[in-house]
Chains A and B, each alone.
Chain A
């Protein structure tokens, strides 16, 4: 894939990505580039399609049109002579392996312990020997402050703990790009801090590209390189958090921020 030398290949490049559910257009020819290591916070009213941005990057929804490149490789298309053709499952899996996602409702595997949740993909997808995978799992649980809970089932953990296990599980696949879909929205207020703390740690390492959909504006201001205001399937405006959150150009952004901060 040709690129100019001055410009690094974006970790995520979305071009004219469209997605509709029936008559409801949630992504309308969206263009979005995310640089390697960049932390982009996506905000916008509910129903604006911001979660769908993450879901099409994770192949949980197929876009109706447009292209998505991960590290310069097309996610849904593969080379066919001079052009592109729809990618086969094998190609999609290969490109997708660079992406990880953390969900609003954790989606931990309830029949496995915390450690088994984290070690599953390294063992089954990456073919790592079991003892190595469990050691990796313990290290990652340690990183999220849950080493002592390695043998607990998700049903025995609090919401905040579950979400931290889910983050460790995603980290275990060593993704270049991590997608965070309202990861604190389902938590009791007093548990939000522990999850944001883990996100902050990942952000500080600076190696992982992060796309976060969140309503935590304080957190966005702290970790984001860029905030994207999304509305009606398109980017309404974007910019550094200080500018966008304090001096937005659009009235709609202003009223959205007022509503979020008031709550």
Chain B
């Protein structure tokens, strides 16, 4: 087993790469969630032109190869806008976020449709605004349906971040490939060993994402049971088995 462990210096390189990977992922995720919500809701708008724009976005973002989009954004846009190289990280995150938003919007649209119509009718009868209905009634219930596929999608995006290495962004994958290049005076590590290590790192990150989504799912489920009293129940009022 010992020969599978790399030198501290090599781990340092990989962790630097991982840090870039996570930044790209974080950016893509944040943008992707916002776009998912905006366009998922827009797909169900009463206004035809809003639905139209959302549909164009969804089909565009799902239909375009993310690597082409990435190259376009990473190469064409800095030239067009005269940006510095440093914004590669942002552009990578944006490209993947745009991609995630298209799939995420469909997840959210489906989840909203899965909430029974009676919930909307009850909200109208209580005179909630459309936004309040979405925020307090529909989305909390849609969460049960949103979270599992959104977790999958996030892991897909994690794996997709490896694409940014192709435009020269020093992520985990690029760090791996650099370590695999023979250098004079440095002892080589078998390629297989390097890849095995990076494989484990991606796997661990994916499991962490999985765990976070499971946690969120459990929290969502919990709201469907008895919860602690909102305020202490006054003396003399029995709580009929409530508690915990």
Please name all residues of chain B whose beta carbon is closer than 8 Å to the beta carbon of A184 when the two chains form the complex: none
Whether A111 pairs with B141 at a CB distance below 8 angstroms is yes
**A110 partner, pick from B126, B132, B224, B226, beta carbons under 8 A:** B224
> Could you tell me the distance in whole angstroms from the C-beta of B66 to the nearest C-beta in chain A?
35
Contact with B along A150-174 (1 / 0, CB 8 A): 1111011000000000100110010
Distance in angstroms from B167 CB to nearest chain A CB is 43
- A100 and B224 contact, Cβ closer than 8 Å, known pairs A107-B119, A124-B132, A147-B237: no
Contact status A107-B118, CB under 8 Å: yes
A113 touches B224 (CB 8 A): no
Q: Does B229 contact A (CB under 8 A)?
A: yes
Known: A100-B125, A107-B118, A125-B126. A131 touches B223 (CB 8 A): no
Chain A residues with CB below 8 A from B64, complex form: none
CA distance A101 to B121 in the complex (A): 9
Interface 0/1 of B122-143, CB less than 8 Å to A:
1011111100100011001100
**A58 CB–B CB distance under 8 Å:** yes
User: How distant is A172 from chain B, measured CB to nearest CB, in Å?
Assistant: 8
The number of inter-chain residue pairs (CB within 8 angstroms) is 99
Which residue in chain A gives the minimum CB-CB distance to B229? A151
> Is B240 at the interface (CB under 8 A from chain A)?
yes
Given A111-B140, A120-B136, A134-B231, A58 contacting B122 (CB threshold 8 A): no
B242 within 8 A of A: yes
Q: Are A151 and B224 in contact (CB under 8 A)?
A: no
Q: With the chains together, A58 CA to B122 CA distance in Å?
A: 10
Are B128 and A124 touching (Cβ within 8 A)? yes
Report Cα–Cα, A96/B121, bound state, in Å.
13
- Neighbouring A residues of B119 by C-beta, 8 Å: 107, 109
Q: Is the CB–CB distance between B127 and A93 below 8 Å?
A: yes
Residue of B121, B128, B237 with highest tally of chain A CB at under 10 A = B121
- Chain A neighbourhood of B121, CB < 8 A: 58, 60, 101, 103, 107
- Whether A149 contacts B240 by the Cβ 8 Å rule is yes
Complex alpha-carbon distance, A101 and B120, angstroms: 13
| Chain B residue contacts of A96, Cβ below 8 A | 124, 127
Q: Judging by beta carbons under 8 Å apart, are A150 and B127 in contact?
A: no
Of B116, B127, B132, B239, the contact of A151 (CB 8 Å cutoff)? B239
Residues from chain A with Cβ under 8 Å of B229 in the complex: 150-151
Is the CB of B230 closer than 8 A to any CB of chain A?
Answer: yes
With a cutoff of 8 Å between Cβ atoms, the chain A residues found around residue B127 in the complex are 93, 96-97, 121, 125, 173
Write out the residue numbers on chain B whose beta carbons fall within 8 Å of the beta carbon of A99: 125
CB 8 Å contact bits of B50-75 with A (1 = contact, 0 = none): 00000000000000000000000000
Query: Cβ of A112 < 8 Å from any Cβ of B?
Result: yes
Tell me which residues across on chain B come within 8 A of A113, comparing CB atoms: 226-227, 230
Determine whether the beta carbon of B124 is less than 8 Å from that of A59.
yes
Considering only CB atoms, which chain B residue lies closest to A179 in the complex?
A: B125
Let me know if B3 is at the binding interface, CB within 8 A: no
Is B125 within 8 A of A151, CB to CB? no
Give the chain B neighbours of A97 by CB distance below 8 A. Answer: 127
Write 9 A-B pairs (CB below 8 A) sorted by A numbering. A93-B127, A99-B125, A148-B237, A150-B242, A151-B230, A152-B226, A153-B223, A156-B225, A156-B226
Residues of A within 8 A of B (CB): 58-60, 93, 96-97, 99-101, 103, 105, 107-113, 115-116, 120-121, 124-125, 131, 134, 147-153, 155-156, 166, 169-170, 173
- What are the 7 closest A-B residue pairs judged by CB atoms, nearest first? A107-B122, A107-B118, A148-B240, A121-B126, A101-B125, A111-B223, A151-B242
